[in-house]
Homo-oligomer: A and B are copies of this chain.
């Protein structure tokens, strides 16, 4: 339909809408409106309609949206109609936390392999998945046709792990190491930097008066 550029902010909100709709659906509610969704997730009704309008017409004028239906549509838009195979590299505290994070599996992200450089960790089993050495990364990831890599290794190793992931055929990488990574343009990369989040807070708490 449209090859219009979609704002990333819209995608993030869609993800939140879908989560909200899952909750609403669980309560047995059949129909909802842009206003109700807006209240539920803290944006304006116009924003909700605008976001959805990028992708088609999912509602009925004068009535609203069918909850199940809209949820399904958004899930499909986000690419969540089928499961995704995910690999996790790095089983430090953060990696361990990520491996047990329920939110991933709930949304169809299945961790199919785990790797770590530490020989002491290799061989252990985390959440039912055996931790493998890094030198098996390429083979296993390629074999599983894993498309998403999560990087939870120390900053100094992040780039080399990313390079290996790319060589192994992943299409997207979620990076938790606080470094700037070089990836070719066709690879999707997102960085999550926990300290940055705190720093945005402190800036705002200072009331932007500290300087």
Contact = CB atoms under 8 A, between A and B. Distances in A.
A55 B208 CA distance: 10
A44 interface: no
A190 B194 contact: no
Interface in A180-201: 180, 188, 190, 192-201
Contacts of A94: 97, 101
State how many copies of this chain the complex holds. Answer: 2
Interface residues of A, number: 65
Given A107-B199, A192-B194, A201-B188, A41 B180 contact: yes
A46 interface: no
Given A180-B41, A192-B192, A204-B188, A109 B198 contact: yes
Contacts of A161: none
B201 A190 contact: yes
A93 B97 contact: yes
Contacts of A93: 96-97, 100-101
A79 B96 CA distance: 31
A194 B98 contact: yes
Interface stretch (A13-21, A63-71, A117-125): A13-21
Interface of A: 1, 6, 8, 11-12, 14-16, 19-20, 40-42, 55-56, 73, 76-81, 84, 86, 92-94, 96-98, 100-101, 103-104, 106-107, 109, 147-148, 171-174, 178, 180, 188, 190, 192-206, 208, 210-211
Given A80-B202, A172-B205, 12 more contacts: A8-B200, A12-B196, A12-B200, A55-B211, A76-B210, A77-B210, A94-B101, A96-B96, A109-B195, A171-B205, A172-B202, A173-B201
Closest 10 CB pairs of A and B: A79-B202, A97-B97, A79-B206, A93-B97, A172-B201, A103-B195, A15-B199, A94-B97, A15-B196, A188-B204
